[in-house]
């Protein structure tokens, strides 16, 4: 037995398995990210949704009334992933998004203890935040220098709020693939927390 979800895709209503729904939603979200720079991205997306609805309709019969994960995967392979679609634009798109490969220091709110300064520095240099914290503690004990530096950095460094900033913090080039990965990562952590 499986739970199904009822969705409206391109003006048609479908019953779709929960796992298939998750996959479809992820795919559409990726496309949305991919076309975010386009002038009429919502129009492109709604065209794509209408077409997908048509493809799904052709898969339903009176014996088969629910969209399954196989259907979703098959339709996605017909429509193409954002990477397939951008096949010919890869270079130009890649240039736009990832050439600079910005690497900036931010405060890391995800692993912070006080203000995220040490965890941000740890992420920047790819070392354990505790190493940085210990150095700060030692500096703080020598005449409070560590506290002063910490305060200055706290003011100077911006907090990494968006996914793009979090990727910049670690120094990976910012592109759709990375954003997707890091969104997925975040999703998994949330899921784990919910199970606890």
Q: What residues make contact with other proteins under the rule CB under 8 A?
A: 10-12, 31, 35, 38-40, 43-44, 47-48, 50-51, 53-54, 57, 78-82, 84-85, 87-91, 95, 99
Q: Smaller CB distance to other proteins: residue 56 or 106?
A: 56
In whole angstroms, how close is the CB of 181 to other proteins at the nearest point? 21
Whole-angstrom distance, CA of residue 191 vs CA of residue 3: 18
In whole angstroms, how close is the CB of 9 to other proteins at the nearest point? 10
Quickly tell me which residue has 């890869």 as its tokens: 90
Q: Smaller CB distance to other proteins: residue 40 or 131?
A: 40
Q: Are 16 and 67 in contact (CB under 8 A)?
A: yes
In whole angstroms, how close is the CB of 62 to other proteins at the nearest point? 15
Q: Smaller CB distance to other proteins: residue 35 or 106?
A: 35
Q: What separation in angstroms does the CA of 177 have from each of 31, 104, 106, 164?
A: 12, 19, 21, 11
Q: DSSP characters for 19-50? A: HHHHHHHHHHHHHHHHTTTSTTHHHHHHHHHH
3-state secondary structure (DSSP) of residue 187: helix
Q: Is the dihedral of CA 90, 91, 95, 98 positive or negative?
A: positive
In whole angstroms, how close is the CB of 1 to other proteins at the nearest point? 30
Q: Smaller CB distance to other proteins: residue 28 or 147?
A: 28
Whole-angstrom distance, CA of residue 29 vs CA of residue 8: 16
In whole angstroms, how close is the CB of 166 to other proteins at the nearest point? 23
β-strand pairing of 12-17 with 4-9: antiparallel
In whole angstroms, how close is the CB of 50 to other proteins at the nearest point? 8
Q: Smaller CB distance to other proteins: residue 58 or 189?
A: 58
Q: Smaller CB distance to other proteins: residue 57 or 111?
A: 57
């Amino acid at each position: 037995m499986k739970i199904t979800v009822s969705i409206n895709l391109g003006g048609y209503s479908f019953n779709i398995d929960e796992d298939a729904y998750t996959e479809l939603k992820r795919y559409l979200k990726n496309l949305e990210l991919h076309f975010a720079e386009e002038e009429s991205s919502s129009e492109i997306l709604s065209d794509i949704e209408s077409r997908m609805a048509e493809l799904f309709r052709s898969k339903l019969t009176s014996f088969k009334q629910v969209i399954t994960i196989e259907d979703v995967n098959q339709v996605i392979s017909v429509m193409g992933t954002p990477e397939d679609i951008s096949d010919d634009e890869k270079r130009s798109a890649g240039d736009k998004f990832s050439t600079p490969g910005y690497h900036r220091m931010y405060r890391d709110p995800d692993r912070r203890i006080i203000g995220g300064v040490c965890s941000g520095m740890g992420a920047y240099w790819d070392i354990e935040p505790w190493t940085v914290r210990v150095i700060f503690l030692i500096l703080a004990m020598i005449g409070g220098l560590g506290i002063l530096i910490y305060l200055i950095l706290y003011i100077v460094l911006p907090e990494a709020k968006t996914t793009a900033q979090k990727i910049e913090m670690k120094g990976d080039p910012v592109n759709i693939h990375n954003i997707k990965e890091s969104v997925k990562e975040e999703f998994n952590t949330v899921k784990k927390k919910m199970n606890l």
